[in-house]
Amino acid sequence: MGRLKLSSEIERLKAVPGFKGSDWNSIKPEFAARMVIQNQFKTGIDIAKYTAGIMRKDMDAYDSDTSSYTQSLGCWHGFIGQQKLISIKKHFGTTDKKYLYLSGWMVAALRSEFGPLPDQSMHEKTSVASLVEELYTFLRQADARELAALFRKLDSAAESDKQSIQDQIDNFETHIVPIIADIDAGFGNEEATYLMAKQMIEAGACCIQIENQVSDEKQCGHQDGKVTVPHSDFLAKINAVRYAFLELGVDDGVIVARTDSLGAGLTKQIAVTNEAGDLGDQYNSFLDVEEMTAETMNHGDVLINQNGKLVRPKRLPSNLYQFKKGTGEARCILDSITSLQNGADLIWIETEKPHIGQIGAMMVEIKKAVPNAKLVYNNSPSFNWTLNFRQQVFDAMHEAGQDVSAYERENLMDISYDASELAIEADRRIQTFQADAAREAGIFHHLITLPTYHTAALSTDNLAKEYFGEKGMLGYVEGVQRKEIRQGIACVKHQNMAGSDMGDDHKEYFAGEAALKASGDDNTMNQF
């Protein structure tokens, strides 16, 4: 979808039959054209098609140059997503390679009608699609607001300045960016996954992320108790998502296949296998088993033939089967290769720590089978980044024979180390993690899920402490408003952000001189 040009839209509208007579003599094509430009994307499908094209272009760019990676930030409300994109445009001049991520975790914790829930797929099935729609509603409003300001600027500009402003309008960069939407483990069987995927795509999602856990026992990727499913079950859900994309005309929709096998030591099912070495047999080969005979069998035992031997998979009181210890990385590699060879576009490996060496080693093995494999990665606030990287530097120093006697490895979070050589090097590695991981570990897209959850809590804590404390109103003025004004935060004019000025524009279009506008001399927003 190309940019709409204001002049072209005016000419198109002038050709509408209603303008040929006198019935529409109070309707101005120029005003209607402005409204069209302000709402370029009419449906969620329009958005999904547009943003899928962006993701595909960015994926190709990464294949050519690993420094051309993308990043995202998780958002749990439309306003948060809107302000993020407004800030990005303000600071960087473009939204290029900056995405939104919509985490099932945040939906569960913040958007469920049941109230705050853990990341266990207990929230309503429609919640994710509703949030996708909400995010794009706010992003479209950001487009409309900025264009409205340009239209007003055009109307009041000297003739010599009008062309420059017209160029800004014609080359306006939308706030609409790709959303990677988390469908968890599909919320049921493959039909349920298909129906939910359709909802999300219709809301605007061009990319759907799905994981290989049991859908009704799903756990957060950073918690214990995760249970995976055989590959055939997972691939059926990947197929369901692809069919949803194709049915709705989003032919280049993107699927992210996530494996939780690194931290999941359990499976609910023994895979179906028809011959030695097939996919089911490979899955079962990781099971923790013990060799049995007819004499050693117990009542109720489940036995399988594995390489000509009768073995009993270890079954827990929960009726789950246990994998062998230390097989997580091998299972992740198999999961990733299998997903990429069967319809997934990107993979996600959920790790227990942010360690480029660990991630890169798995990607090396995956790329032997799928050379252009690309990993998305959760730059998760569930990691203690400070401690992890300080320990990584400690270990590197120790292996290099350096003296580390001044450091206590398990206590490296202590503030006393903040100015140390070790801590400075750790911070440097954290700062370059995205670029280093993209270059060394095949990471195309950095999925950052929770920072806006934490920043909301932190800023609210700071305001509450000051406003209800000794500083009183100064706590707000000094800690919030003064900073907003000086940093050029758009929502300091909160009525404008909410659409008051656009409403005035529309009133003028609709009622002419009779319009009752809010933006007069008595509007306190003029103070800003």
Is 53 inside a domain boundary? Answer: yes
**Region 445-456 average pLDDT:** 85
- Check pLDDT > 80 for residue 126: yes
Pair (132, 28) in one structural domain: no
> pLDDT value at position 284?
95
Can you read off the two tokens belonging to residue 504?
Answer: 């005035």
For residue 438, is it within any domain? no
Q: Pseudo-torsion of CA 116, 121, 122, 125, nearest 10°?
A: 110
24 & 148 share domain: no
Last residue of a domain, one of 421, 451, 481: 451
Is 371 inside any structural domain?
A: yes
Q: Which domain, by its residues, includes 239?
A: 44-265+330-382+443-451
* Tokens representing residue 429 in the block: 């590695």
Shared domain for 256 and 223, answered yes or no, is: yes
Query: What DSSP string describes 345-400?
Result: SEEEE--SS--HHHHHHHHHHHHHH-TT--EEEE--TTS-HHHHHHHHHHHHHHHT
- Whether residue 186 sits in one domain with residue 156: yes
Q: Which residues have a catalytic role annotated?
A: 220
* pLDDT above 70 for 220: no
Residues 56 and 18 in one domain: no
Any idea which of 82-96, 185-199, 419-433, 511-525 has the lowest mean pLDDT? 511-525
Average pLDDT estimate for 487-508: 86
pLDDT for res 1: 59
Residue 91 lies in a domain: yes
- Residue 116: what pLDDT? 84
CATH for 156:
3.20.20.60
DSSP track, 154-198:
HHHS-HHHHHHHHHHHHTPPPS---EEEE-TT-SSSHHHHHHHHH
Please count the structural domains in the chain. 2
Is residue 63 domain-shared with residue 147, that is, in the same domain? yes
User: Is the same domain home to 237 and 336?
Assistant: yes
- Say whether both 141 and 220 belong to one domain: yes
Is residue 508 one of the residues assigned to a domain? no
What average pLDDT score do residues 173-186 get? Answer: 94
Could you tell me if 24 and 155 lie in one domain?
no
CA 180 to chain centre: 4
Is the pTM of the predicted complex or chain greater than 0.85? yes
Mean pLDDT in residue range 474-484: 92
Considering the domain boundaries, does residue 494 fall inside one?
no
Q: What is the tens place of the pLDDT at every residue in 53-93?
A: 999 999 999 999 999 999 998 888 999 999 999 999 999 99
In the chain, what percentage of residues exceed pLDDT 90? Answer: 72
290 domain-assigned: no
Q: Are residues 364 and 242 in the same domain?
A: yes
Domain boundary among 413, 431, 451: 451
Q: Please check whether residues 254 and 373 belong to one and the same domain.
A: yes
d(CA 415, CA 217): 40
User: Is 195 inside a domain boundary?
Assistant: yes
Q: Are 475 and 466 in contact (CB under 8 A)?
A: yes
Q: Which pLDDT score, from 0 to 100, does residue 498 have? A: 85
50 lies in the same domain as 115: yes
